[in-house]
Chains A and B, each alone.
Chain A
Amino acid sequence: MRFVADLHIHSKYSRACSPALEPGPLYRWSQLKGITVLATGDFTHPAWSALLQEQLVPAEPGLFQLKPELARQQDRDVPASCRAAARFLLEAEISCIYKRDGKVRKVHHLVFAPSFETAARISASLGAIGNIRSDGRPILGLDSRDLLRIVREASPEAYLVPAHAWTPHFAVFGSESGFDSLEECFGDLAGEIFAVETGLSSDPPMNWRLSALDRVALISNSDAHSPEKLGREANLFDCELSYDAIFSAIRGRDPKRFLKTLEFFPEEGKYHVDGHRKCEVRLEPEETIRRKGLCPSCGRPVTIGVLHRVEKLADRKKGKKPAGAADFEHLIPLKEILGQVLRVGAGSVRVDALYHRLLARFGNEFHILRELPAKDLEKEGLPLLALALERMRKGEVELQPGFDGEYGVISLLAKKDFSHQDQLALF
C-alpha cells in the first residue's frame, strides 16, 4: 500500500517543544496531515516511554497504534474526510557532543527500534553513560561511532540515521561541528549507515552532488516541535505496512517501494544560505567566499549555510540523479499557502478556520497539497488558492532563502494576482 511516513518528531518531554505532543493529539494530527506512520520521538525518555507503553498497543509488526478507546475520543475531532489508520514507530534523537581530533563535534542522530524491549535496551545503555531523564533529546558525551555500536548491538533491527545531515551546528556534515564524510564520523562502522536525513535546508538534488552519498538513501522528516508541524517533510512508501518493510525499502533504495520524499523548498529552511541573523546579512556562498567568510556588517565569521557546505563537499555538478535514488516533491505547508492567499499570518485565526474547512471538505493536508485538482478549489470559490497550489506543484515560486536560523520566505502569489480577483467576497 501507498503511505506517508514521518520518521522524526519530538514529544512534550523535549526542550522547547509543545506540551500538546502527546499520543492522542499526535494520532489526530497524523490523520489531518495524511501521515500513516509517525515516529514517536524521544523513546529514551523514561516518562515518554511509559506514556507510550500505557497508551499504545501493538499493531502491524514493529508498529503501534493508539488504544481504541483513546482513538475514539480523538476521532471526534477528526473530520470524516480525514479519518484513516495511523501508526507509531519507535524513534529517538540523540545529541552527541564530543571531541574528535581536537575539534568539538556536535552531531544529532535518529535511532529506530522495532520494539519497546529493544528501545529499553538502548535506553539502558545510554542511561549508563549519561542523563536521559532530563530531555527527550538527550545530550550525551558519546562518540557517534560508539552510539552506532550501541544501537547495532541492541538489535539487528535497530538502526541509526544521521539527523538533518547538513545543519551547521548539530549535524554529521554540519559546517560548525561536523565531519566531511560518513567514514570520518563513523570510522570502521560507516558501512552500517544506510540512510541520512536531508533536513529542511537541503533537498535530494543537493545531496546527489556528493557521489559518496550515492550508496545511502535520503529520507526526509519533519523534526516537529509541535503537532501542526508534523509531516512538513516526509517519505512516501509503497510497501507493506510494517517496521521491517519500511526499513527494507529504505535500505534497499528500491524506487518501487521507497517512492519519494516530500520536501520543503530547501530555500525555506533556516540554514540554506550563509549569513548573520543579528546583522540581517544574508550571503550567497560565492559572496561569502569573496568576503573570506566574514560578515560585512560586524566583521565576525558568518554562519555557513547548507548550500555552501554542500558546494564545498560536492564532487559533481548539478543535475545528475544517482541510480536507485527516490524521487522528490517540493511542498509548502498548507497554512503558509493560505496565509499568502488571505494575506495574513499563517498562524492567524482566519487561516486556521479555512484550513479546517478545507480539510473537512477535501481530506487531509497531503491530499490537498499533492493531489486535489485545482479545478475543485476553483469550484469551491478559491481560485487564488488553486493558482498558488498549481504554482507550488510546478515549482514556480519566488524564493528568499533562509540563513543563520531565519526561515526563508517562499512567495507563490504576486501583487498582480490579487488585483482582478475579489477574494473578500468569499468570506
Chain B
Amino acid sequence: MGKNSEMSHASLTNSELDSSQRAAVLATDGAIVIAAGPGTGKTRVFAHRIAHLIQDKGVPPGEILAVSFTRSAALEMRKRIATLLPDADLSNLWVETCHAAALRILHAEKYPFPELAIAEEEQRLELLADIVPRGKAKAWLEQLRGTKQCLEWPQDEASQCYQEALRRRGLADFDDLFLFVLQLFAERPEILARWRDRFRYVIMDEFQDTSLAHYRFIGRLAGEDFCVIGDPDQSIYGFANEGCGAERFEPFTQFAKDRPNRRTLALSENYRSQGIILDAAQQVIARNPARVPRQLRARLERGMPIDISGHQSDRQEAEMVVRRIEGLLGGASRFTVDTGWARDEADSRSYGLSDIAILYRLNAQARLFELALERIGLPYVTYGKKTKKDGREVLAEEDLEDFRDNERAAPSLVHPAGESITLMTVHRAKGLEFPVVFLTGCEDGILPYRREGDDSPSPEEERRLFYVGMTRAGSRLLISYARKRFLFGKTLALGPSPFVADIEDELRRLEKSEALPRKRPKDKQPELF
C-alpha cells in the first residue's frame, strides 16, 4: 500500500465524514451498534469503516466479513471500498449477502455434500410433483419456508420425501442454507472455530431487517468485534419473523441481550432529504409507541412543502400523478410545453425520468399508473410481480416476495438500458432514494394496510413503512389518496391515512383547496355528535 493512498484515506476520513460518521468509522473494537437514520451516510460509514480497518489498522482484508442485505448492495459496497483503497488487494475480502456467505462456507466445507446447488423454482415444483397435489405445491412450499425460517427441519413425511429428493440431486432450498451451516457448526466445532478465527471483524448492514436465521448464522460466526448497522425505525420485515417461538424475534433487542457490553453510536445528520420532508417524516414516526426518541437533523435546505392531494378515484389519482410528473420533467412533449399545460409553477428545477419514483403499498396499485404513463408514452419500469389473488392472501406473500427478491437481486441490477420512472412497493424501495417521490394510495386501510379479521399487519410496522416511503424523497414528496379505489374486485371508500394527518399544516401544501382532517379521529370531540 503506497503512502499516497494512505494520505488520501486520512483526508477522506477527515473531510468526507462528519463527526458522528467519523466516530462510527473509528469505533472498530467490540460489539457496536450503529443506529443510522435514513440518509445519514450509512453506506459511506460502512465502506469507510472497512477501509479504515484495512488501511489504518492493517487488518488483512481476508479477516473481514461484511454482510449486506441485497446482492446489489453487496456489489455496490465492494465497488465503494475498492474506490477508497485503489491499491489494496481485496480478493480475500468477503462482502456478501447472508445467503451467499452461507453458501460459500458450505461449498468450502463440501457440506452436506460437494457442489451443493440452490434449487430453481421449476425444479422444486418438479420434485414435488409426486409428493404434493399439483395445485397445492406453492402453498405447501410457502409453509415449508415458514418452518425453515424458524430454523427447524420439517418433520412430516411429505417434507422428508421432498428433502430427500433434493439431496439426491445435490440441491438445497434457499432456506436450507442456514439450517445446513448451523448444523455444520454444531456438528464440527473445530470448523466453526476456524471460520470465527478467520473473520475477526464482522459487519452487518440493514440490521433492523435481519431475520432469525440470518442473525443466528452471522451471530455464531462473529467474535468479539461485531458491528451491526441499521435503523429500528425502518424495520419493515418484522412479519418475516412471525411465528417462530413464543417471543417475536427483534434483532436489536436480541443483540442487546446477547452482547450486553455493546456500545451504541448514532448517525443523525441527514444528507438526503430537504428539511421539510425530514421534519414531516419525523412527525409521523414519532407517534410510534415504545420508540426510543431519536432526532435527525437535515443538512439540506428547508425545500418545498409536501404536496398532499385527495382525488375522486384511484384512476384520477393516477392521472394527476402522471400530469405532475410531466410538470416536474419540465414538459415531456412540445404539446405540453407549448400549451403551458404541464408547467410546475413553483419548482423551477427540472427532474429526469430516473429521479422520479411512484411508490405504493400493494403491487395491485401499479396498474393504473402504468396505464396513465402508457397514454403519455413516458418510460417506466415496474418492479415486482403482480398477483391476481384476493387481498387476503396477497399481502404477506407480496411483501415476502419483495423480501426475497431483495435477498437475491435488487432493483438496480435489472435496470434496462435507458432511464425510466420507477414504480415499486414501499417495501422494495427500502435502501433506495429518489429526488422525487410520489407516495400514493395513502388511505386508511391501504397504508396502513388492514385486512378483515385480526391478521392485519402491525400498525407500528405500517407506520414505519410510511416513514420509509417518505424518507426515500430528496427534494419533493407528493402524497396522494383516493376516495374510491377498486381493489381485489371491490370498490373501497376509505378516508385518508391517519399517518397523513400527523404531518403538521406548516409543512404541507394542499392541492385543490381540499382540507384534510388535521386531528386524528380519536381526538374528535364527542359533544359534536
Contact = CB atoms under 8 A, between A and B. Distances in A.
Nearest to B376: A134
B70 to A, nearest CB: 23
B419 A16 contact: no
Interface string A126-153: 0011110111011111100010000000
B420 A141 contact: yes
Contacts of A15: 333, 335, 376-377
Interface in B358-379: 374-379
Given A129-B416, A130-B420, A131-B374, A139 B352 contact: no
Contacts of A130: 379, 418, 420
A104 B418 contact: no
Contact of A99 (B337, B352, B375, B416): B352
A106 interface: yes
A99 B351 CA distance: 9
Interface string A145-170: 01000000000000000000001011
Contacts of B335: 15-16
7 contacts: A97-B352, A129-B418, A134-B375, A142-B419, A176-B330, A270-B338, A300-B348
Select the residue from A140, A270, A300, A405 with max chain B CB neighbours within 10 A. Answer: A140
A139 B379 contact: yes
Interface residues of B, number: 28
A177 B350 CA distance: 9
Dominant secondary structure at the A interface? loop
Dominant secondary structure at the B interface? loop
A301 interface: yes
Contacts of B355: 99
B324 to A, nearest CB: 16
A169 B377 contact: no
A104 B377 contact: no
A135 B326 CA distance: 15
Interface in B321-359: 329-335, 337-338, 340, 348, 350-355
A106 B332 CA distance: 8
Contacts, number: 93
Contacts of A176: 330, 350
Select the residue from A99, A104, A128, A138 with max chain B CB neighbours within 10 A. Answer: A104
Nearest to A405: B338
Interface in A89-129: 95, 97-99, 104, 106, 128-129
A141 B351 CA distance: 12
A353 B338 CA distance: 30
A97 B353 contact: yes
A139 B340 contact: no
Nearest to B335: A16
B333 A95 contact: yes
8 closest cross-chain pairs (CB), A and B: A141-B419, A135-B377, A134-B377, A16-B335, A99-B352, A130-B379, A141-B418, A129-B418
Given A99-B354, A142-B418, A134 B330 contact: no
A277 interface: yes
Interface of B: 329-335, 337-338, 340, 348, 350-355, 374-379, 416-420
A226 B119 CA distance: 58
A278 interface: yes
A169 B343 CA distance: 12
A176 B331 CA distance: 11
Contact of A169 (B334, B351, B375): B334
Nearest to A168: B337
Interface string A272-286: 000001100000000
A131 B377 contact: yes
A156 to B, nearest CB: 22
A139 B418 contact: no
A99 B333 contact: no
B340 A278 contact: yes
Contacts of B333: 15-16, 95, 135, 137, 139
A301 B348 contact: yes
A128 B337 contact: no
A104 B329 contact: yes
Contacts of B378: 131, 139
B417 A142 contact: yes
Contacts of A277: 340
A135 B355 CA distance: 22
Contacts of A128: 416-417
Nearest to A102: B352
Given A130-B420, A142-B418, A405-B340, 17 more contacts: A15-B333, A15-B335, A16-B333, A97-B329, A106-B330, A128-B416, A133-B374, A135-B333, A135-B376, A141-B420, A146-B417, A169-B334, A177-B350, A277-B340, A300-B348, A405-B337, A405-B338
